[in-house]
Amino acid sequence: MKRAIALIDVNNFYASCERVFNPTLEGKPLVVLSNNDGCAIARSAKAKELGIKMGEPWFKLKETAKQHGVIAVSSNYALYADMSNRVMDIIGQYSPSQEVYSIDESFLDLTGIQPDHVKIAREMRQRIKQWTGLPVCVGIGESKTLAKLANHVAKKRSEYAGVCNLNTLRPDALDELMKRIDVAEVWGIGRQINTKLKALGINTVYDLKTASPEYLRQQFNVVVEKTHRELNGIACMELEDITPAKQEIMSSRSFGYKVRDLKSLQEAVSLYISTAAEKLRRQDSVAGAVRVFIRTSPHGDCPKYANSMTIALPTPTDDTLRLAKTALWILRRIYRRGYEYHKAGVMLTDIRSVSSQQTDLFTSNSPSKLMTVMDAVNAKMGKSMLRIASQGFDAPWKMKQGNKSPNYTTNWKDLVQVK
């Protein structure tokens, strides 16, 4: 039986989420901006046609926007995360083996599940579109790399109507298809590797597929050799049913306005440590060390300053209060007056599983009742509904979101009203 791995990918995910709740954006050049409305992190098909590049600063695009009616919206991560969860839940109904690869991509093992995988893929596309309003493409192959390649074909070639199953192609037809695709489109082939491959005369996917594995191992590393094997239908990367726990958790953000006073920095660091602690508890882990950093902008003529410090905790913990106390202690020691701070952040390190932690008379393997209640309330009532006092409420330093859409699916006040 042929292995059948599917990759389901939402088209222009951030932009598509915005269009679901604002249909007037359909068919228009749309750009989603990064934190503080800095640069383009998502573009609709129309925006791409205008030559707008990923990561291009918004201030450089304003003239183009005026000429062509480009619409820019601030990033709405709460909306995107919720829409992603809905899509992943639908995808998971089609197979017991699913790997959520990113916010808009998921692998699915369809091996042995009904012989007509194209029919399953089309039904999946229709259901996701009907239930969420989001368009997806599906690629199917014998390995993850082939599934990624099939998804690329499904997106770029209209004759496939959003679904490409490489397993159904004859070997000669598959080879002809690979000869027409640049090797840069292969999953895992970055800019440097692509340049070196081209220098060696490996220009297409077919060239890489038919290259000598021993030669590739000599010229590159085991990763490129694995990619070669995957292109030949030998699965070297299995689906991860459970996302491995993170070994480090960072929470940081650039400020919307320059911050000078310690109080504002304390509020920001308190928010970041609370966010990191929630992620820590979500993966049933504890942290043994806390790092805090602050810095001014590297640009402009203002005085420059950057500093950080890491403190090991007496006992690993997932308690927000203990982690915040340590983070604020560090902040007070690295803060210097007279500077305009541009960014702050925290990092939890020395992370280990709660179950592997050796306890004593004064510690427990389970989160405190206060943390359990806090997480439950915030999950039900909204992010930061319960918070530590040092977070404050006004947050004048928070990032700029001058044109942010409402939280349609996560805030009762923002529900769409039909009149």
221-275 pLDDT, tens digit per residue, is: 788 989 999 999 998 888 875 566 678 899 888 887 788 999 999 999 999 999 9
Phi, psi for 247 (deg, rounded to 5): -85, -20
At residue 364 the predicted structure's pLDDT band, cuts being 50, 70 and 90, is low
**What is the pLDDT, as a whole number, of residue 393?**
73
301-323 pLDDT, tens digit per residue, is: 889 999 999 999 988 999 999 99
**What is the SS3 assignment for 333?**
helix
Judge residue 75's burial from the number of C-beta atoms within 10 Å of its C-beta, 0-12 exposed, 13-18 middle, 19 or more buried: buried
**What is the pLDDT, as a whole number, of residue 128?**
97
367-398 pLDDT, tens digit per residue, is: 678 888 888 888 877 777 788 888 877 666 56
Return the CATH number at 114.
3.30.70.270
Return the CATH number at 347.
3.30.1490.100
Looking at the fold, whether 41 and 93 belong to one and the same domain comes out as no
Instruction: List the structure tokens of 250.
Output: 């960072």
Crossing angle (nearest 10°) for helices 369-381 and 320-334: 90
Q: Is the pLDDT of residue 300 over 70?
A: yes
- Residue ending a domain, among 31, 62, 79, is 79
**C-alpha span between 81 and 104 (Å, rounded):** 9
334 occurs within a structural domain: yes
Looking at the fold, whether 87 and 75 belong to one and the same domain comes out as no
Instruction: List the structure tokens of 376.
Output: 């439950």
Average pLDDT, rounded, for the chain: 88
Looking at the fold, whether 180 and 170 belong to one and the same domain comes out as yes
11-46 pLDDT, tens digit per residue, is: 999 999 999 999 899 889 999 988 777 788 889 889
130-181 pLDDT, tens digit per residue, is: 999 999 999 999 999 999 999 999 999 999 999 999 999 999 999 999 999 9
Looking at the fold, whether 123 and 166 belong to one and the same domain comes out as yes
Q: How many domains does the chain have?
A: 3
Tell me the whole-structure pTM to 2 decimals.
Answer: 0.73
**What is the pLDDT, as a whole number, of residue 57?**
87
Return the CATH number at 53.
3.40.1170.60
Tell me what percent of the residues of the chain surpass a pLDDT of 70.
Answer: 93
**Could you write out the DSSP letters of every residue in 25-78?**
GTTS-EEEE-GGG-BEEEE-HHHHHTTPPTT-BHHHHHHHHHHHT-EEEE--HH
417 occurs within a structural domain: no
At residue 297 the predicted structure's pLDDT band, cuts being 50, 70 and 90, is confident
6-20 pLDDT, tens digit per residue, is: 999 999 999 999 999
Instruction: List the structure tokens of 294.
Output: 């602050």
